[in-house]
Structure 1
């Protein structure tokens, strides 16, 4: 019973906290992408893909975002695991986004998340909002 009550409270807080959350406005005449991952090492092939698409599509290439969520989100704060992914992402016009729910659940202090990484409160909602704006979405 206690677990049911706590789950209900969590769900209500989650819903209330995301009512005003909206994904950024985007140009739907361009090809926009979001890739959801749970592992920092997957940034390398994702960024390479973004670079290839940018060359292939030219002016039709729009926004490209990597959304990280899940148990390994704390790896964002590990300089050795992150390597130069933030710099590579910036050069490739890729935005790295961290899920706030995952940061909270796995007790990752937001202050330790490197600058250059955007934090959204609800990564799942953010992904759906971008899909409604025409983003192509892939989950790894």
Structure 2
């Protein structure tokens, strides 16, 4: 009985001793974000949020990516307003992706997109892959 108790106590102490190390590793990770959006009008608020998160997170801020999906891909035009937002996104180190499946479904030629936008094959899959890597996710 004493031997069993000693083994269990030792095992418990070893496991408890590992917990602070795991917590330390989590707190040192960079905070990465992905936003899946079906509305181009949300791009400006997303960029405002990216700026606020970078300030709030400080050195822990990592990356932010935006994935544009759905019918809104038809609204992506080379306009002065969008060009300004793309430039602002680049200044904030925000990567803007466009769903290739949505482009195909709604007949939008990827070559007609303004520069600064990245096309991913499947926006939803891409978002899930980033979540697997620890990105915090929001769909709007």
Under a length normalisation based on structure 1, what TM-score does the superposition of the two structures give? 0.76
Contact 1:75 1:81 in 2 (8 A): no
Match of residue 55 from structure 1? 55
Find the residue that maps to 2:87 and give its secondary structure: helix
1:73 aligns with 2:79: no
1:73-123 deviation line (CA, Å, top 9, x unaligned): 122224156251101101111110000000000000010111111110011
Larger radius of gyration: 2
CA RMSD for the aligned pairs?
1.4
Match of residue 82 from structure 2? 82
Match of residue 126 from structure 1? 126
Unaligned runs of 5+ in 1: 1-27
Find the residue that maps to 2:76 and give its secondary structure: helix
CA distance, structure 1, for counterparts of residue 39 and residue 80 of structure 2? 14
Higher helix residue share: 2
Under a length normalisation based on structure 2, what TM-score does the superposition of the two structures give? 0.76
Residue 72 of structure 1, CA deviation: 1.4
Contact 1:38 1:71 in 2 (8 A): yes
Contact 2:83 2:114 in 1 (8 A): no
